[in-house]
């Protein structure tokens, strides 16, 4: 079986490629933008000399390149997305790229597409504190009030579903929480934000929906293999979730003793009203980093449920304690 992995040089993409090879897949085509670092892919391929790992530099925003990438594949793991940059670029490289990929699959209804979406698509701003977020939680009703990443992922997922339904592409959607691990970023915005050299601890006692990168890759790979997964959506996060405060405390102990200021949720909400009011009065002179809506969505505090992905056969390969230890060791080494 020939498998395509888009975004293969990314943090999660590399882990998915490694997991596929570890599970015995031997014919992979991996794509990333020209110029992307591919040492991790090459190292993974070198560990499995009997496997064919074809690297194809591809810009998914260009339809003819996308058509070449899907040629003769039996399964697609679509991980490519834009994490940052100008809003237009994020939509182009996330949403338009996905449209091209889906359209390239239009003539091959047997090819399954596994889409890596995000927790960011859920409409949690209106939920009471402590509500459980699972696959039945409603999607964001006001994307324009969220950050651009969430907007783009929401539109990507909706588009994927529309086209899959129209052209008969078997689709599986995964929505990971906060993916972390060696090679990833240090602290999720759910934990807090760095402001002029001081870290504002915003997550407090909220549960942090961590997904260690290997565990996340395992879920994604399973979703491509299980016959029952087609047409389903799965939330992906680990079992033993720490609070944001506990995660930050470990980070400070093991990586960097950041200067932090804890901001209680009611204070944050009040602050966000001021930020939004100033943003509107000043016609955008400073960005609306905090708005009451964003604050409620990101720091409102939810509980999480991963029973559905477990029912698929997923198991947490790396315990959270070990995942954090590895991640913090890598971050410490990187900092030094």
Q: Using CB under 8 A as the criterion, which residues of the chain lie in contact with other proteins when the complex forms?
A: 33-35, 59, 61-62, 85-89, 91-92, 95-96, 99, 143-144, 148, 151-152, 155, 159, 281-285
Q: How far is the CB of 164 from other proteins (least distance, A)?
A: 16
Report the SS3 class of residue 275: helix
Q: How far is the CB of 201 from other proteins (least distance, A)?
A: 28
Q: How far is the CB of 284 from other proteins (least distance, A)?
A: 6
Considering the complex, state which of residue 222 and residue 294 has its C-beta at the smaller distance from other proteins: 294
Radius of gyration over every alpha carbon of the chain, rounded to an integer in angstroms:
20
Considering the complex, state which of residue 37 and residue 334 has its C-beta at the smaller distance from other proteins: 37
For residue 320, what is the enclosing H or E element?
helix 320-335
Q: How far is the CB of 318 from other proteins (least distance, A)?
A: 32
Strands 233-236 and 171-176: parallel
Q: How far is the CB of 316 from other proteins (least distance, A)?
A: 35
Strand partners, 200: 193, 261
Rounded to the nearest 10°, the torsion over CA 83, 317, 186, 13 is -30
Considering the complex, state which of residue 151 and residue 260 has its C-beta at the smaller distance from other proteins: 151
Place of tokens 């599986």: 172
Sorted by sequence, the CB contacts under 8 Å of residue 97 that are 6+ apart come out as 60, 61, 66, 80
What b/e sequence results for 277-315 when a residue is b if at least 16 CB atoms lie within 10 Å of its CB, and e otherwise?
Answer: eebeeeeeeeebebbbbbbbbbbbbbebbbebbeebebe
Considering the complex, state which of residue 145 and residue 325 has its C-beta at the smaller distance from other proteins: 145
| Widest distance between CA atoms in the chain | 63
Considering the complex, state which of residue 37 and residue 71 has its C-beta at the smaller distance from other proteins: 37
Q: How far is the CB of 24 from other proteins (least distance, A)?
A: 33
C-alpha 286/C-alpha 169 separation (Å) is 44
Question: How far apart, in Å, are the Cα atoms of 272 and each of 58, 76, 189, 267, 313?
Answer: 41, 41, 15, 8, 42
Q: How far is the CB of 35 from other proteins (least distance, A)?
A: 6
Considering the complex, state which of residue 148 and residue 241 has its C-beta at the smaller distance from other proteins: 148
Considering the complex, state which of residue 26 and residue 33 has its C-beta at the smaller distance from other proteins: 33
């Amino acid at each position: 079986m020939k498998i395509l992995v888009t975004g293969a040089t990314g943090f999660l993409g590399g882990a998915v490629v490694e997991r596929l090879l570890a599970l015995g897949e031997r014919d992979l085509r991996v794509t990333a933008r020209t110029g992307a670092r591919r040492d991790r892919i090459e190292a993974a391929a070198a560990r499995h000399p009997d496997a064919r790992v074809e690297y194809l530099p591809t810009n998914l925003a260009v339809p003819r390149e996308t058509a070449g990438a899907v040629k003769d594949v039996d399964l697609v793991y679509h991980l490519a997305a834009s994490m940052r940059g100008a809003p237009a670029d994020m939509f182009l490289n996330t949403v338009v790229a996905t449209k091209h990929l889906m359209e390239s699959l239009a003539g091959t209804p047997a090819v399954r597409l596994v889409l890596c979406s995000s927790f960011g698509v859920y409409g949690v701003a209106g939920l009471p504190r402590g509500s459980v977020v699972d696959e039945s939680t409603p999607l964001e009703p006001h994307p324009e009030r969220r950050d651009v990443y969430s907007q783009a992922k929401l539109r990507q997922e909706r588009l994927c579903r529309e086209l899959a339904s129209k052209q008969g592409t078997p689709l599986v959607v995964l929505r990971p929480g906060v993916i972390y691990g060696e090679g990833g970023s240090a602290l999720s915005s759910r934990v807090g934000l760095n402001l002029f050299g001081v870290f504002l601890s915003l997550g407090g006692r909220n549960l942090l929906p961590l997904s260690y990168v290997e565990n996340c890759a395992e879920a994604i790979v399973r979703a491509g293999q299980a016959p029952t997964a087609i047409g389903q959506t799965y939330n992906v996060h680990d079992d033993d979730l720490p609070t944001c405060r506990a995660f930050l405390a470990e980070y400070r102990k093991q990586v960097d003793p950041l200067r932090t200021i804890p901001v209680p949720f009611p204070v944050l909400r009040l602050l966000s009203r001021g930020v939004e009011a100033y943003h509107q009065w000043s016609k955008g002179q400073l960005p609306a980093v905090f708005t009451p809506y964003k604050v409620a969505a990101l720091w409102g505090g939810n509980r999480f449920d991963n029973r559905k992905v477990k029912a698929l056969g997923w198991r947490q390969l790396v315990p959270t304690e070990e995942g954090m230890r590895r991640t913090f060791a890598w971050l410490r080494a990187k900092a030094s």
